[in-house]
Amino acid sequence: MTTTDDKARKALFAALAKAQSEMGSVFKDSTNPHFRSKYAGLPAVLNEIIPTLNRHDISFVQAPDFDLETGCVILRTALRHKDGAEIVETTRAPIGKKLDPQAFGSAVTYLRRYAAQSMLGISVEDDDGNAASGRMTAQRQAQVDKAAQTWAVRIAGVLSDNNLTVDDFDCWAESAGRPFLESMTPQQLQAAHGWLEHKNGCDLIRKAAGGKA
């Protein structure tokens, strides 16, 4: 913690608790080609945490650096509340004393992903591919349904904030050859939410819906 202001510290803890209660699991959407293992990519993690943190007046900042003496990539991750309190965590990964830009970039991405997950208690789950083969348990199906419902509600909220509806989204989806919201997997819904909040998704949907004001 970088503040001795008890009021600011309590405000940060309260806001962080509320934000965490709204965060869901992140699905493994990327594959490591060397080990053929799946993991949750950095965009999936950030799309889950940043909008939720921002709704509770918490900013999420990550700043990379390199220590030539030890050959370590250093990443400082900060959660900063509007009242001035912040939590800062430092993580490191050795890559050698010769600074290789590619190795540096890979290490930064790796550290950013794991620092975000660990600081906010984000759980990572397998994707729902087993549903097609009939091996999904009832418990797993319930988890998938709950995740899909959570993301669908969030998307509906973003659309409503932009004077759009789910029907408008589906109208755009049909014209663009994309799946309707109700047929999307949780992973697809999560990606769609990030597209709507951080890119020009709502503008494209509005255009497909006839330029709604």
Q: Map out the domains of the chain as residue ranges.
A: 6-125, 134-208
For 75-131, what is each residue's pLDDT tens digit? 999 999 999 899 999 999 998 877 788 888 889 988 998 899 889 888 775 444 443
SS3 10: helix
Q: By the 8 A CB rule, do 114 and 77 touch?
A: no
Residue 131's pLDDT is 37
Residue 77's pLDDT is 95
Residues of the chain with pLDDT under 70: 1-4, 25, 27-40, 125-141, 143, 199, 211-213
- Strand pairing report for 26-27 and 124-125: parallel
Q: What pTM does this model have? A: 0.55
Question: Where does 6-125 sit in CATH, by number?
Answer: 3.30.160
Task: Report the distance separating Cα 86 and Cα 62, nearest Å.
Answer: 13
Residue 137's pLDDT is 53
Q: By the 8 A CB rule, do 156 and 167 touch?
A: no
Task: Report the distance separating Cα 92 and Cα 75, nearest Å.
Answer: 6
